[in-house]
Amino acid sequence: MTAIGPLHRLRALLAAVAEVQPRRAIAGRPIALGWATVELERAAAELGAELGIPADRFLDAAQTFALGARCRVVRGVLPDAMSLVLLEPATEGRLAATLARFGEGPAAVWLAVADLPGAAASARVAGIEISVERAGPFGAERLVLDGPIHGPHRLLIELAGTIRA
């Protein structure tokens, strides 16, 4: 890892995303941050140790086809109960481009919206391209395509509401 701690680097990614959201007509609640790596097992051990998360808490999850990456997720361990996703390239896609440009580190944020098709339609009206819906570690996701191929990446997901008695 670098001299700047991983939590600081993750917070910087979140701040950068928060800064562009109002200007880009994409609003969503951040629910997860992604860390790009070339080796999931090593990253789980090293990053986990720096953040105080046992490596065995990182669980395999569905890959994100939008980024071309295998995923391991640990839920609710970051500030505001956000999840942390380790991302390892599975294709020569966007995540591989991120690693080639920036090396290992913060790479993606998942934003929860109330209505995924509606958010995608609103973005298109505002002139922002959104990917087709694909599977990801949190279910269906759409990649916001208004930035460079090497990221940082924003993915929209729809979280179902919780019914309480």
What are the domain boundaries of the chain?
6-158
Asked if residue 65 has pLDDT above 80, the reply is: yes
Residue 17, pLDDT score: 66
Asked if residue 113 has pLDDT above 60, the reply is: yes
Task: Residue 90: name the closest of 106, 72, 110, 67 by CA.
Answer: 67
Fold for 6-158, please state it: 2,3-Dihydroxybiphenyl 1,2-Dioxygenase; domain 1 (3.10.180)
CA distances from 124 to 24, 40, 76, 116, 148 (A): 11, 35, 31, 12, 18
Q: What is the pTM of this model?
A: 0.88
Calpha distance 37→1 (Å, rounded)? 11
Please compute the mean of the pLDDT values over residues 121-132 and round it to a whole number: 91
Residue 20, pLDDT score: 54
